[in-house]
Amino acid sequence: MTAVNSISITLNGQERDFFYRDIHSDRSVIEQNFINKEYSTGMFARDRDIQARYRDILAAGMKPVIVDCGANIGTSVLHFPGEYPQAHVVALEPAPDNFALLELNTRGLDVELIPKGVSSSEGMMELVDTGEPFAYRLSVGQSVSRSVGQSVSRSVGQSVSRSACHHND
C-alpha cells in the first residue's frame, strides 16, 4: 500500500487529521474540496432551490439525506456536514484502498459508510483499475488482468431507499 500522509483540517470548528496518499487523485480531491470548495452549492445556479428544499425537509420534521456515490477518501463527506449540518450523509465507495481511508477520515462522525459501488444494475461486478487517476470502474465481464477485486453494486434507486441506507448485506 502507498504511504499515508496527513494534513490538519478544521471541521465545524474542530481540528482533525485528514489522511491521504501522495498520489494525484488524493491530492486533487483535497484541492477540489478543501481549497476550491467545489462541492459548495453556493456556486450553483440552483443554490437557492437546494437551500429552500433543505429547509422545507427540516420544517416537515424529516432529516435530509445526502448520498455520495463514489466517496473516494472522504473529502466531500467531510464537506457536507458543514454546509448541511442536519443532513444524514450516506457514502458509497467500492475500492478497498479508498474505503480504508474513508473510514479513517470519517471516524467519530455521524455518517453512514457502505463499501459498495453504484451502477445502473444491481449485482456482483468487477472492480477495475485502469491505472489512470480517478480510474476505478465497475464492470461486467471485464478482463481479469485489470480487475482488483469484486464489488456488490447497488442501483441508484436502491442506494437512496431507506432500506438500502440501513443495509445488512
Question: Average of pLDDT values for 122-134?
Answer: 71
94 vs 165, more confident: 94
Please, are residues 89 and 80 in contact by the beta-carbon 8 Å criterion? yes
pLDDT digits (tens, 9 = 90+) for 25-83: 999 999 999 999 998 999 899 999 999 999 999 999 999 999 999 999 999 999 998 89
Split into its structural domains, the chain has a count of 1
DSSP assigned state of 131? S
DSSP assigned state of 166? T
Range of the domain at 128: 4-165
In this structure, which amino acid lies at residue 54? Y
Question: Average of pLDDT values for 122-151?
Answer: 63
**32 Cα distance to chain centroid:** 14
Q: 96-110, 111-125, 150-164: lowest mean pLDDT where?
A: 150-164
pLDDT value at 103 more than 90? yes
> What gap in Å lies between CA 68 and CA 102, rounded to an integer?
12
9 vs 162, more confident: 9
Please, are residues 120 and 157 in contact by the beta-carbon 8 Å criterion? no
Grid cell in block for residue 12? 465545524
Q: Across 86-90, 116-120, 135-139, which has the greatest mean pLDDT?
A: 86-90
pLDDT digits (tens, 9 = 90+) for 27-40: 999 999 999 999 89
> What gap in Å lies between CA 137 and CA 4, rounded to an integer?
23
